[in-house]
């Protein structure tokens, strides 16, 4: 049985999410676990998919980065799948761990992906340090802080934090911090 797993980090990534679902269904996945959460947080649907799969099944993802956040995390997932007799297929890489070559390719590609991510983060840190030294780096503008007066006005009208957040296009945490500043 083919079991699909689709994930995007944010709700704004609708097109990417829809494309993953389309590809998994077209391939013939009988069940698709889906979630829109950061790879860093808990992923209940990934856990549910890993719990659901049975011997002889294949877990299918469209891209490696939709599944694992690091080589270590990928290794943990592969161990879980292997212990259950389940293969992993990654569509965009053409990798299927049902074969020895597929297992080798997955380990190599996972290492390359982690190396690429670490290099990107290093370049980003270097760029920020250079911009700070030149006085050009200001960081992201504090959008929620700029709306503190609006937040307080809406709260005084009796709107809930969720309603204020939705109306202003900011997170509930930002509304909470604006209404309850630390001393």
Give the active site residue among 9, 39, 156, 160: 9
Q: Is residue 49 part of a domain?
A: yes
154 and 102 both lie in a single domain: no
9 is catalytic: yes
* % residues pLDDT > 90 (the chain): 36
Is the same domain home to 106 and 160? Answer: no
Q: Environment class of residue 119 by beta-carbon count within 10 Å: exposed (0-12), middle (13-18) or buried (19+)?
A: exposed
Q: 74 and 162 in one domain?
A: no
124 lies in some domain: no
Identify the domain boundary among 64, 99, 114: 114
8 shares its domain with 58: yes
- What confidence category does residue 117 fall into, taking pLDDT thresholds of 50, 70 and 90? confident
Tell me what the pLDDT averaged over the chain comes to: 87
Is there a domain that residue 137 lies in? no
Q: CATH code at 53? A: 3.40.50.1390
- The model's pTM is 0.61
Q: Is residue 135 included in any domain, yes or no?
A: no
Instruction: Give CA 104 to chain center in angstroms.
Output: 25
Domain that residue 86 falls in: 2-114
Beta carbons of 45 and 33 less than 8 angstroms apart: yes
């Amino acid at each position: 049985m083919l079991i699909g797993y689709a994930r995007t980090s944010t709700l704004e990534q609708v097109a990417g999410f829809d494309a993953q679902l389309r590809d998994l269904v077209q391939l013939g996945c009988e069940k698709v676990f889906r979630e829109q959460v950061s790879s860093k947080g808990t992923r209940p649907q990934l856990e549910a998919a890993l719990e659901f799969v049975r011997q002889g099944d294949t877990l299918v993802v469209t891209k490696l980065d939709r599944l694992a956040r690091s080589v270590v995390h990928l290794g943990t997932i592969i161990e879980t799948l292997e212990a259950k007799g389940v293969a992993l297929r990654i569509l965009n890489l053409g990798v299927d761990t049902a074969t020895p070559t597929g297992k080798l390719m997955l380990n190599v590609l996972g290492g390359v992906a982690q190396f690429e991510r670490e290099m990107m983060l290093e370049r980003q840190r270097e760029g920020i340090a250079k911009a700070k030294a030149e006085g050009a780096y200001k960081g992201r503008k504090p959008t929620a802080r700029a709306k503190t007066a609006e937040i307080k006005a809406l709260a005084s009208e009796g709107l809930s934090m969720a309603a204020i957040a939705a109306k202003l296009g900011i997170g509930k945490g930002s509304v909470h911090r604006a209404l309850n500043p630390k001393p």
